[in-house]
Amino acid sequence: MTEPRNESNDKGGEEEDDRGGSDEEPDQPQAPLAPQHLKTNEHKPQAMVGTTTETHFLQLTLDITEKPLFRDEDGGLVIPQEPLVNVLKKFDGVSFSDALAQNGEAQMKRYQLLKLPPYLILHLARFKSNRYSREKNPTIVAFPVKNFDLSDYVHIPGGREKPPTEAEVRAMNVKDLKALLARHGQDALAKNVVEKSELVEATVDFVVKSLPDLLAEKYNLVANITHDSPSDVGREGKHDPLQEGSYKCHVQHKATGQWYLMQDLHVEETMPQLIGLSESYLLIFERQIAGS
């Protein structure tokens, strides 16, 4: 694994942050570098100086827009909603975010994803603290459970790989066919194949049915950690949301596809349609593999 590459046109520059865009939370212990890359462009408005840093991340921290709470006709609070694609604009490679440097200087940062890992962890930053209180943003972030396509957020140097056509596959020799399958983790398709014609058909089937989705950076949800609390807790200094709330977890049983809701020793079945209605705190996605 290559070390992170830092490109800078000034002597300053922030230390690496494996949380990928988390500017307000306390430092956490560093873990081994994971095989995903993030490029950060920093701009200081006063001097108009820019710095580019390429580094690794373990999770991406997403900021949720603060929205006012309204009451319905019966007096109940209406919790606002925000699509996950809107929250992810922070990492679209175009949008700038306000941030503070370690010396307190105002900065504007732009994040660009260069590579995504097999498992993607998204942290929804719901809590904000000051010297007097801790507040929670109860906004519901709506997200897909399957086929979450992140292709538009990944900027691959040199451009995205295009799958070969059926004609190009049929024109390959045995060595090239096996190399194509191995490059995408499909070595098993070439095992116990004697005739070249069988290998060609197996490769064509993979290229036509599975490879486009693999190259499209599609993910499926495998776990969702939530923090539930009364909607008025943590607003305007009312109580501490971490003291009043509770954590729950949605986990999918991969063999059956069934989703479960777990809290301590309590486990019950749930429907995937209900997962997106919770106050998600940590989302764990798995990259789609062939046949998933």
pLDDT in the model for residue 76: 60
Nearest to 122 by CA among 100, 153, 81: 153
Tell me which residue has tokens 């993607």. Answer: 120
Across the range 33-48, mean pLDDT stands at 61
How does pLDDT run across 196-247, given as a tens digit for each residue? 999 999 999 999 888 887 778 889 999 999 988 765 544 555 566 666 778 8
Higher pLDDT, 222 or 184: 222
* Confidence category of residue 186, pLDDT binned at 50, 70, 90: confident
Burial class (CB in 10 A: 0-12, 13-18, 19+), 56: buried
Cα 282 → chain centroid = 10
- The confidence score (pLDDT) of residue 128 equals 80
Q: What is the pLDDT of residue 170?
A: 92
Compute CA distances 133 → 104, 115, 123, 231, 242, whole Å: 22, 38, 21, 16, 11
Reported confidence tier of residue 1, pLDDT bands at 50, 70, 90: very low
- Residue 72: the pLDDT is 64
| Mean pLDDT calculated for residue range 153-171 | 86
Higher pLDDT, 135 or 224: 224
Residue 50 has pLDDT above 80, yes or no: no
Q: What is the pLDDT of residues 243-262, one digit of tens each?
A: 677 889 999 998 999 999 99
The counts of H helices and E strands in the chain are 7, 19
Distance in angstroms (rounded) separating the CA atoms of residues 20 and 15:
12
| Section 68-91 average pLDDT | 77
Query: If you average pLDDT over residues 85-93, what whole number do you get?
Result: 89
Please say whether the beta carbons of 237 and 133 come within 8 A.
yes
CA atoms of 43 and 48, how far apart (whole Å): 6
**Single-letter amino acid code for the residue at 135:** E
